[in-house]
């Protein structure tokens, strides 16, 4: 199944099913008004939603509407919890080098994870408000899982069963704010503004053979101002899969339905696949040429993130955002 949340003037939007070619949408208020409600009651509502999705996919839902990605919130416009890991250690090593920090050996066995703001995610097709170009705005293209209720102390094998939906993410970073913030030893606040998620969230079976070992084995494409800057495979060089990240997050707490767990920036050691963030590109330039030459994002720059299936069709829709000067922003 594929789900989206359409803007309707409320904080949580209106839940719709979306067909596989992302052309039609079907509101399902008789099943669930919002995605959070659906996740809260997943077991009892899943069969009803599947029946409606099959009707939509078969072209037997005359009440369906055109699906317009620009009308969408992030699938969960707000979430009870957003936990982002850093499963691609090639990325971790490069960005830590960029700020003069080494990668501890413990990172090889114990995932790195931070708790991000989740009270108001940005819609995937709306502008990204930036207070100052001096902050060093940088995209971070990632994948993420939404879970149902996860018990504390769960194993990775059992955590896999709790992955209900998958998404793509732009987890923006403000690179010039991060070093001093992390030096305080208390984690991100200013350096991590609101994230955005692709318009469509999908159940794992929608990915077919590309979903294996709790990884999405497909390239994640990132464009800056219309130019492809990276298409690393999200299933390669992923040191911790999504189930392992969920188990890590649940080590000392239960996770409520609707919790989102991210992969961290997708990154391959094969440099021909490009980058999913500018910090990596800058570090590679420093290693190869002695100094970075690629600037961070400026007002007017546009980032696009999208994942295609093996036939070239968009799976999650596209995140596409222009960097604009912030002025009394309210979500």
The predicted model gives 11-17 an average pLDDT of 98
Return the structure tokens found at 252.
């000392």
pLDDT of residue 270: 95
Flag whether 256 is in a domain: yes
Cβ(5)–Cβ(122) under 8 Å? no
What is the per-residue burial (b if ≥16 Cβ within 10 Å, else e) of 44-71? Answer: ebeeebeebbebbbeeebeebeebebeb
Last residue of a domain, one of 37, 67, 97: 67
> Dihedral (C-alpha) 226, 82, 314, 305: value to the nearest 10 degrees?
10
Co-location of 192 and 222 in the same domain:
yes
Q: Find residue 3's DSSP bridge partners.
A: 17, 201
pLDDT of residue 327: 77
Whether 182 has a pLDDT exceeding 90, the answer reads: no
Gyration radius of the chain's alpha carbons: 19
pLDDT of residue 99: 61
pLDDT of residue 43: 96
Last residue of a domain, one of 46, 67, 88: 67
* Number of domains into which the chain is organized: 2
Flag whether 330 is in a domain: no
Q: What is the CATH number of the domain that holds 184?
A: 3.90.850.10
Whether 98 has a pLDDT exceeding 70, the answer reads: no
Co-location of 38 and 85 in the same domain:
no
Co-location of 105 and 169 in the same domain:
yes
Co-location of 237 and 217 in the same domain:
yes
Flag whether 331 is in a domain: no
Flag whether 173 is in a domain: yes
Cβ(307)–Cβ(138) under 8 Å? no
Co-location of 292 and 320 in the same domain:
yes
Co-location of 155 and 208 in the same domain:
yes
Co-location of 117 and 48 in the same domain:
no
In angstroms, the CA 227 to CA 26 distance is 34
pTM: 0.95
Return the structure tokens found at 69.
């990605």
Co-location of 191 and 283 in the same domain:
yes
Co-location of 20 and 80 in the same domain:
no
Q: Find residue 25's DSSP bridge partners.
A: 18, 65
Which residue range forms the structural domain that includes residue 20? Answer: 2-67
Co-location of 60 and 84 in the same domain:
no
Q: pLDDT digit string (tens) for 193-230?
A: 999 999 999 999 999 999 999 999 999 999 999 999 99
Flag whether 8 is in a domain: yes
Q: pLDDT digit string (tens) for 247-270?
A: 999 999 999 999 999 999 999 999
Co-location of 93 and 63 in the same domain:
no
Co-location of 90 and 57 in the same domain:
no
Strands 196-197 and 163-170: antiparallel
| DSSP H helix total and E strand total for the chain | 7, 20
pLDDT of residue 329: 58
In angstroms, the CA 174 to CA 114 distance is 15
Cβ(146)–Cβ(260) under 8 Å? yes
Last residue of a domain, one of 14, 32, 67: 67
CA distances from 79 to 2, 35, 75, 259, 268 (A): 18, 10, 10, 6, 29
Cβ(23)–Cβ(200) under 8 Å? no
CA distances from 215 to 100, 114, 139, 236 (A): 30, 20, 21, 9
- Of 309, 138, 282, the residue nearest 220 (C-alpha): 309
Return the structure tokens found at 221.
């494409």
């Amino acid at each position: 199944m594929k789900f989206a949340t359409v803007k309707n003037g409320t904080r949580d939007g209106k839940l719709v099913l979306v067909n596989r070619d992302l052309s039609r949408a079907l509101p399902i208020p008789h099943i669930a008004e919002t995605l959070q409600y659906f996740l809260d009651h997943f077991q009892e509502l899943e069969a009803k939603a599947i029946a409606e999705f099959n009707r939509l996919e078969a072209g037997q839902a005359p009440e369906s509407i055109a699906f317009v990605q620009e009308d969408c919130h992030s699938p969960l416009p707000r979430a009870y919890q957003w936990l982002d890991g850093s499963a691609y250690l090639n990325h971790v090593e490069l960005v830590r080098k960029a700020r003069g920090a080494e990668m501890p050996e413990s990172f090889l066995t114990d995932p790195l994870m931070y708790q991000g703001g989740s009270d108001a995610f940005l819609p995937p097709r709306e502008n990204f408000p930036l207070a100052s170009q001096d902050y060093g705005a940088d995209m971070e293209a990632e994948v993420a899982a939404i879970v149902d209720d996860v018990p504390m102390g769960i194993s990775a094998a059992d955590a896999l069963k709790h992955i209900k939906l998958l998404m793509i993410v732009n987890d923006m970073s403000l690179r010039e704010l991060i070093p001093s913030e992390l030096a305080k030893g208390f984690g991100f606040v200013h350096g991590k503004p609101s994230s955005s998620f692709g318009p469509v969230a999908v159940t794992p079976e929608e990915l077919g053979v590309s979903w294996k070992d709790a990884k999405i084995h497909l390239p994640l494409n990132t464009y800056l101002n219309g130019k492809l800057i990276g298409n690393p495979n999200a299933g390669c060089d992923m040191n911790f899969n999504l189930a392992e990240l969920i188990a890590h997050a649940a080590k000392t707490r239960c996770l409520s339905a609707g919790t989102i767990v991210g992969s961290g920036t997708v990154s391959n050691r094969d440099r021909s696949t490009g980058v999913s963030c500018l910090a990596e590109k800058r570090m590679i330039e420093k290693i190869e040429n002695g100094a970075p030459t690629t600037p961070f994002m400026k007002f007017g720059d546009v980032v696009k993130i999208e994942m295609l299936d093996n036939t070239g069709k968009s799976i999650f829709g596209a995140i596409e955002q222009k960097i604009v000067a912030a002025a009394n922003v309210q979500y």
